[in-house]
Amino acid sequence: MAWDESGESSAMRVRIMIAAVAAALLFLGGALWRIQVLGARLYMSSLEQQSMRRVRLPGARGRILDRNGVCLADNRPCYCVAVYVEELRRPGGWQNTVDAVEKVVASAAEVLGLKVEISRGDIERHVSKRLALPFIAWRDIDEKAISRWAESGADLPGVDIAIEPVRVYPRGSLAAHALGYVGKADPKQDLEEPYHFYLPEMEGARGVEAVMNHVLTGIPGGRLLRVDASGFKHERVGERPPEAGRDVTLALDTRIQTLVEQNLAGVEGAAVILDPSNGDVLALASSPTFDPNVFSPGVARATWRGLVADKSQPLVNRAVAELYPPGSTFKMIVVLAAVSSGRAGPETVFDCPGYFALGSTRFRCWRPGGHGQIAMVEALEQSCNSYFCQLGLRCGHERIVEMAGAMGLGRRTGIELASEVDGILPGDRWKRERFRDAWRPGDTCNLSIGQGFLAATPLQMAVGTAAIGNGGRVYRPRLVLRGDSPAGETVNVLKCSAEALRTARQGMYEVVNAPRGTGKRARVDGLAMAAKTGTAEFGPRDRRRKHTWMLAFAPFEHPRVALAMVVEEGESGGLTVAPRVRRIMAGIFGIAIDEAADGEEGA
């Protein structure tokens, strides 16, 4: 009986064990069925998400062209060896990842036949920042290296050839201050389709590149890659090609721009040439200049420090961002104000003994012996300081300031360059606010000869010159041409009499064409030109220095160009600038000239 009970008990335990195992197997089978069948879509989606990589592709930047279609800024492909660090990350600390990257770079160097150019420190900085962009081990590799990569069928984890668009300026430093340059952009993440990697993009940093960045910038595309567990072996699943940005056409004429820059080479200064009929900027130059190619795709630290530390300030656009006293080039404005107000006329005569005495102060004329009795047109031709001190006092500074303001001095012209400055157009109110002092007759004398507090940019003086040349219409200078704006924007029409304009123009004509004109070194046989020289003193009295000017327009009757040029620390407008203007004007109008020039020095 005992045996029967024991045997029955053992049999029961076996049946219970079999039932438990069967239940466990049934539960496991059910769980596997739920995972593999019911949850297949969910887990497959998760797997796909983990093995997919979205790469943002930059759109090519639009070109910048001159008015004749000459390309001034373009793009070229830069082939780079990119290491996608995220695909090489290793557990156990970021140093393990650095080791992995260093190893794969060494392997790539063997395949490509290149020397390793990056250090472990470079890798550490990139790995520690966890940047979304790939780590560039080599940039701008040559065709030989690309061929080696293609022939070897290189299958290195986390390594690929990336094409980076690079901004290029085919004509080097030509028009660099107008064009500007680009820098690297940090693209914004797409919240709907976030990307894992992006290639570097460019954005305008200065000049037209910056102001027209919204037009030049392309629309980025994307690439979807499938990544397997071994690293960065992948297949391209899908791609949305990027779209190029739109081209921008400038009013600049490359031929004229080249002439201007050639004649500024070796000096510090600036020049602007406008079309008086519509305000188009045909040339805008600043010297010394720089090569914008050094900023693309990124400027080296040593290069940047050198440019910033250079005392000649090559990065400063002197044409729009530097202020100069205009000196005697301001005298036409005094003529316009005096004649239009009826305070004087072309027949008005003053005596010049070589200076003008105002109390105990003497305003010296450039000719020590004086000009004697002199009328208005000849006073412009000879740039007589004594005459204009007296004319300014008779006219009154308020009328002079009003006329200068109408011509655009004291405020930005509105050109499409963010670096433009206002300038200084002083008057009684300005002086009271600035110095808490009243305007005095000596201030009027200084203003009348373009000295004292007065300061303008070369662009502002070019705008005024164009207005005198075209009969009194002040245009906003136009650097960027737009299809919907075939003509320039008129800012103002000068409220000056026909006699005033005729007198100012005739005086400028005599400056170049009279036997003793201060600007006769600018004369070009066969071209009727009008001009005005200027020599503006600045600095401490015991160490006075000079900025030298010339304004000009040609042809005289129907001007096609208006020019303003300043050369820092020259001898005089007649000696330093006039010969340069002569070469530029002869080149523009295709007239052969003898490089030898003679004549007397003038203000």
Q: How far apart are CA 475 and CA 466, in angstroms?
A: 8
pLDDT tens, 326-359? 999 999 999 999 999 999 999 999 999 999 999 9
Out of 41-50, 74-83, 502-511, the most confident range is 502-511
Q: What pLDDT, on a 0 to 100 scale, did the predictor assign at position 598?
A: 45
Answer whether 298's CB lies under 8 Å from 78's CB. no
- What pLDDT shows up at residue 154? 66
pLDDT in tens, 113-160: 888 888 888 888 887 776 666 788 888 888 888 888 887 766 777 788
Whole-angstrom Cα distance, residue 415 to residue 456?
15
Our CA angle for 36, 37, 42, nearest 5°, is 80
Residue 328 appears among annotated catalytic residues: yes
How high is the pLDDT of residue 190?
A: 65
Residue 135: predicted pLDDT: 82
Catalytic-labelled residue, pool 328, 341, 383, 448: 328
> Residue 44's pLDDT is what?
46
How far apart CA 573 and CA 536 sit, in angstroms, is 9
Whether pLDDT at 87 is above 60: yes
d(CA 462, CA 477): 9
The mean pLDDT value of the chain amounts to 88
Summarised one tens digit per residue, pLDDT across range 176-186 is 999 999 998 87
Q: How far, in Å, are 76, 101, 164 from residue 141 at the CA level?
A: 13, 19, 11
Q: Which residue has the tokens 């406008």?
A: 274
pLDDT of residue 164: 81
494-546 pLDDT, tens digit per residue, is 999 999 999 999 999 999 999 999 999 999 999 999 999 999 988 777 777 89
Top-level CATH class of 254-292+316-588? alpha beta
**Domain map (residue ranges) of the chain:** 52-250, 254-292+316-588
Residue 226 pLDDT exceeds 80: no
pLDDT tens per residue, range 433-469: 999 999 999 999 999 999 999 999 999 999 999 999 9
* Rg over CA atoms, the chain: 37
pLDDT of 240 > 90? The answer is no
Would you state the pLDDT for residue 139? 85
Closest CA to 578 of 526, 534, 525, 514: 534
For the chain, percent of residues with pLDDT exceeding 70: 88
Query: Is the entire prediction scored with pTM above 0.75?
Result: yes
SS3 percent helix, strand, coil of the chain, rounded to 5, is 40, 25, 35
Residue 114 pLDDT: 87
Instruction: Give which of 443, 442, 465, 462 is closest to 454, Cα–Cα.
Output: 443
Confidence of residue 11 (pLDDT cuts 50, 70, 90): confident
Domains 52-250 and 254-292+316-588 share a fold: no
pLDDT of 119: 86
Are the CB atoms for 364 and 422 separated by under 8 Å? no
The CATH number of the domain covering residues in 52-250? 3.90.1310.10
